[in-house]
Structure 1
Amino acid sequence: MYYSARVVGVCLTLSLAACGGSGSAPTERDDPVFEDGESQRERNARGTTIGAAARARRNQESIVQVNRYIWSASLQVLDFLPVQSVDPFTGVIVTGFGTPPGGGRAYRATVLISDPALDARSLNVALQTRNGPASTATVRAIEDAILTRARQLRVADNRL
């Protein structure tokens, strides 16, 4: 019994060793070279860190670039509303209900900044009251105030 188990073990070892291929090292022409001049063999020898893998994953995801002037102006114009969540990577600002100074009606806003350009098409504001959506004129006034403030911030930054 012991003898047959040993024979089976040796046979398995030999059969696995035969699967290894020719055993010859790859030649230089078989080893691809990347744009940064590093070969595949060098990349494999270096290994991958968790940080490098995370950076590679982040570069593959689509991230919306947000205009920083519109972003800052949105937060400044809507500063009377409590901020519930912000995501600068997707360009979304969500606020809770708040009453503007000198006003009697509470509003809630969701702002989407979808483009890096300082342009009206880059800004979408959804404004809601406790009774339903706000009027189109009110939404337009908020969008105009945000865009005006964004232009003021850009001029103040001396980047015309």
Structure 2
Amino acid sequence: MLASPYHYKAYIFLSFTNLSQSREYPFMKRFLSSIRTLALIGTLPLFLVACDSLNPRPTELPNDRWDKIDKQQTVFGEGGLTFGGKDQKRQGQGGTGIGVNAYLWRATLDTVSFMPLASADPFGGVILTDWHSASNTPNERFKLNIYILDQALRADAIRVAAFRQMKNTNNEWQAVEMDPKAVTDIENAILTKARQLRSESLTQ
């Protein structure tokens, strides 16, 4: 009966073991010791690879994903803290970072530029003029209080309160009723100017 290859391997292994235990073959001991050392060295890379596979390194993200993470982790979000950022484009605000519609604000200042200003608050949207008399009517004077009520450019975003005084026989200023149509004309003039400014900005 022929021996199988397994039997031959077992026989060779036992032979080497017996030879290594014999005092008559010291060189065989050294040979087997070298074989064991080489075997341990050979298994070391496999051990390191196995350990590395247990702790996989994080894969690098594409640049666009890194950019997305950086934007989301800012203190104030993707947009950050800005004055007059992307939201200014909504509803034709004009892009100046003020609290009201920029076109209405600029149009109001242009419309009443012939009158002296008492105060102007761009964040509250309030413009107050001082009394003004035309050179051809020195006994009559006007004052305007103008309120911008919205960031959108629309008709109901502007309100005008007009005041009129005339000198009486005692040369004293006396309040006189203001024509409502004159107030409407002032509001329409401001709206027309604001739409013109917006149209010019869109064509640039």
Smaller-chain TM-score range? 0.5 to 0.7
The answer on 1:143 being equivalent to 2:187 is yes
Whole-angstrom CA distance in 2 between matches of 1:103 and 1:149? 26
Question: What's the CA shift for 1:99?
Answer: 3.0
Amino acid aligned to 1:139: V
Contact 1:80 1:99 in 2 (8 A): no
Consecutive unaligned residues of structure 1, counting only runs of 5 or more, are 1-34, 39-63
Contact 1:80 1:101 in 2 (8 A): no
Number of the residue aligned with 1:125: 160
Number of the residue aligned with 1:15: none
Greater alpha carbon shift after TM alignment, 131-140 vs 141-150 = 131-140
Whole-angstrom CA distance in 2 between matches of 1:37 and 1:72? 34
Whole-angstrom CA distance in 1 between matches of 2:150 and 2:143? 23
Consecutive unaligned residues of structure 2, counting only runs of 5 or more, are 1-71, 76-97, 166-174
The answer on 1:114 being equivalent to 2:149 is yes
The C-alpha deviation readout for 1:110-155, integer Å capped at 9, x for no partner, is: 1110101111111010010112452110000000100001111111
Question: What's the CA shift for 1:81?
Answer: 1.1
Number of the residue aligned with 1:94: 128
Runs of 4+ residues deviating >4 angstroms? 35-38, 100-104
Q: Please identify which structure carries the higher helix content.
A: 2
Q: Name which structure has the greater RCO, CA cutoff 8 Å, separation 6+.
A: 1
Number of the residue aligned with 1:158: 202
Whole-angstrom CA distance in 2 between matches of 1:158 and 1:103? 40
Question: What's the CA shift for 1:37?
Answer: 7.4
Whole-angstrom CA distance in 2 between matches of 1:114 and 1:89? 11
Matched position secondary structure for 1:158: helix
Whole-angstrom CA distance in 1 between matches of 2:104 and 2:128? 15
Greater alpha carbon shift after TM alignment, 136-145 vs 125-134 = 125-134
Q: TM-score w.r.t. structure 2 length?
A: 0.45
Question: What's the CA shift for 1:158?
Answer: 1.3
Whole-angstrom CA distance in 2 between matches of 1:113 and 1:107? 20
Contact 1:83 1:95 in 2 (8 A): yes
- Note the aligned Cα RMSD (angstroms): 3.0
